[in-house]
Structure 1
Amino acid sequence: MTEDKHVIEALGKTRVTIENGHITSIGNPEIDYCPIFGKYHNIQKITVDDVKKNIEYRIEDFGMCTKDRVLKMDDMLSVGISEILRSNLEYGSIDCVVGACEGCGTLIMDDADLVQGVGGRVSGLVSTTPIPEIIERVGRENVLNPKTAELNQLKGLKMAIEKGYKEIAVTIIPSSMVKDIRKYEIPEDVNVYIFVAHTTGVTIELTKELFEYADIVTACASKNIIEYAQIKKPYYYGNAVPIYAVSENGRRFLDCRLKHINKPLSTNDYPQDLTKMSRELK
């Protein structure tokens, strides 16, 4: 049997392994409280059982990590990375997203519903293996490596440039790749924008790189991201889980989404009201 193994980091930055549609391993949560799950699921202290129930729900509800994965999703009246990307695709500010999806790895997307459905439903993807049914539905030609489901956003960027895209958004989880992508020599008529999610636990050194090289950075439950933002004072939206526009392009993208759903535009009022943020930051 071909290996079917997918590793994600879910609520509480808990590492979960899913094989053949079933959970085979759950680590311990790194944090006790997530403001998103506290607000929408009334989870006040994350336990392994909470993680198990949530992942089982995702597998049952939209086929996460299985051949039955629901890939597309309608718009939601919220503000996250997927929603910001969605609005900017629809308005033409970007023309493709280099993202990642379980079952196919790095892929290129220019369909707003696909961007929403792929990115809005899965937490940090650590590793994955090919699921042929998913790869066929997103288009083999859009997958970096259909044989291995490789996760490599820099290679994905190169592929997007080769396919002729000019305004390219790249989504990553925190790593030194943010610098590699920004330093990559691109053609003069191509622009690259970096969106960073899943930042809980990021080091201060990497935090500084994210603020230097990225365009949008989500706070998640990151103590370093939130504290460094108080120093750098970028424009942002939200208090419970702030989204920071750490570049002028990032602010343009963030405000595009906010206008789209009739929300107040980004602000740089500091100090932020930290009382609404996660009770436990890491």
Structure 2
Amino acid sequence: KNIEFRIKDFGLFTENRIVESKECIVKFGTSEIFMTALDRGILEAVVIVSDCAGTVITNNPYLVQGLCGRISGIVKTTPIPKVIEKIENAGGTILNKNTGEIDQYRGVKLALELGYKRIGVSIGNLKDAEKIKKLENKEVSIITFGVHTTGYSSSEVRRYLKYLDIITCCASKGVLEAVKGHIMVQMGKSIPIFALSKRGKELLLERAKEIDEPLLIDLSKNLPSINKNFHI
């Protein structure tokens, strides 16, 4: 029923796909954080994944929110030409329009070829973070954001932790165990997101400035902190 609702509501997996949005589904989601970073000029472009297109590079904050604000983890998709056309008209570049390929490493390389220097990238396969970070140099800065982490063990997460600037917990006990002692900022307690570097911290705090509701900011040596009803 959830997927049926998404198909009817914003055209998920169909040629009726809505590709741009300013609506924030959650306060501290990956797309919301990237949207704010683009809007404020902290990042020049982001590399994301969308149904109907695969890996997408864009500097349009509302395209990021439209494509990623309400989707779950996608490991494979089929390209839909009408959706790809809408994405391109909104300022998106598709890694492979013929196959809908999902390859975030190649997506970052394409972003570099397009001239972008400050890049954010969502990474569902954490092992990609290491080789993506190797693309950095004095002129190129890449924010790596680990997403859709449910199912990862603590040892797997620890292996790639130093290559990640931000990681979302999803429903992963492995992430909760691995990030202890490495968290610079935690956002949220239901599905927490953790900044693991100063640059990741900057993105999360910049996002916090966009929130109209009251915020509690405090020091803590006992992170991560999660709700009692958090289910793993």
TM-score, structure 2 as length reference: 0.91
| Partner of residue 137, structure 1 | 86
Determine if the alignment matches structure 1 residue 96 to structure 2 residue 45: yes
| Partner of residue 225, structure 1 | 175
Q: Distance in 1 between matches of 2:229 and 2:21?
A: 28
Q: In the superposition, relative to structure 1, how do residues 160 and 273 fare at CA in structure 2: closer, same or farther (>3 Å)?
A: closer
Q: In the superposition, relative to structure 1, how do residues 139 and 248 fare at CA in structure 2: closer, same or farther (>3 Å)?
A: same
Give the match's secondary structure for 1:100: strand
| Partner of residue 194, structure 2 | 244
Aligned pair partner of 1:67 in 15, 20, 24: 15
Determine if the alignment matches structure 1 residue 276 to structure 2 residue 206: no
Q: Distance in 1 between matches of 2:194 and 2:68?
A: 18
Alignment of 1:1-282 (within 5 A): 53-76=1-24, 78-139=27-88, 142-184=93-135, 186-262=136-212, 264=215, 269-271=220-222, 272-279=224-231, 281=232
**Amino acid in structure 2 at the alignment position of 1:168:** I
Q: Distance in 2 between matches of 1:232 and 1:189?
A: 26
Q: Deviations over 1:197-251 (max 9, x none)?
A: 1111112232113421111101111101112223434321111111100111000
Q: In the superposition, relative to structure 1, how do residues 265 and 90 fare at CA in structure 2: closer, same or farther (>3 Å)?
A: farther
Q: CA deviation at 1:268?
A: 5.4
Q: Distance in 2 between matches of 1:99 and 1:80?
A: 13
Q: Distance in 2 between matches of 1:273 and 1:171?
A: 23
Q: Identity over the aligned pairs, expressed in percent? A: 36
Q: Distance in 2 between matches of 1:277 and 1:156?
A: 37
**Amino acid in structure 2 at the alignment position of 1:221:** A
Q: Distance in 1 between matches of 2:217 and 2:201?
A: 7
Q: Distance in 2 between matches of 1:265 and 1:212?
A: 28
Q: CA deviation at 1:269?
A: 1.5
Q: In the superposition, relative to structure 1, how do residues 268 and 81 fare at CA in structure 2: closer, same or farther (>3 Å)?
A: farther
Q: Distance in 1 between matches of 2:142 and 2:15?
A: 32
Number of residues paired by the alignment?
A: 227
Q: CA deviation at 1:74?
A: 1.2
Q: Is the contact made by 1:75 and 1:83 (CA closer than 8 Å) also made in structure 2? A: no
Q: In the superposition, relative to structure 1, how do residues 87 and 266 fare at CA in structure 2: closer, same or farther (>3 Å)?
A: farther
Q: Distance in 2 between matches of 1:130 and 1:275?
A: 39
After superposing on structure 2, the runs of 4+ consecutive aligned residues of structure 1 that deviate more than 4 Å are 265-268
**Amino acid in structure 1 at the alignment position of 2:208:** L
Q: CA deviation at 1:267?
A: 5.4
Unaligned runs of 5+ in 1: 1-52
> Which has the higher Rg, Structure 1 or Structure 2?
1
TM-score, structure 1 as length reference: 0.75
Q: Is the contact made by 1:255 and 1:266 (CA closer than 8 Å) also made in structure 2? A: no
**Amino acid in structure 1 at the alignment position of 2:141:** N
**Amino acid in structure 2 at the alignment position of 1:162:** E
Q: CA deviation at 1:157?
A: 0.6
Q: CA deviation at 1:257?
A: 0.2
Q: Is the contact made by 1:236 and 1:266 (CA closer than 8 Å) also made in structure 2? A: no
Q: Is the contact made by 2:157 and 2:175 (CA closer than 8 Å) also made in structure 1? A: yes
More deviation, 167-176/266-275: 266-275
Q: In the superposition, relative to structure 1, how do residues 275 and 261 fare at CA in structure 2: closer, same or farther (>3 Å)?
A: closer
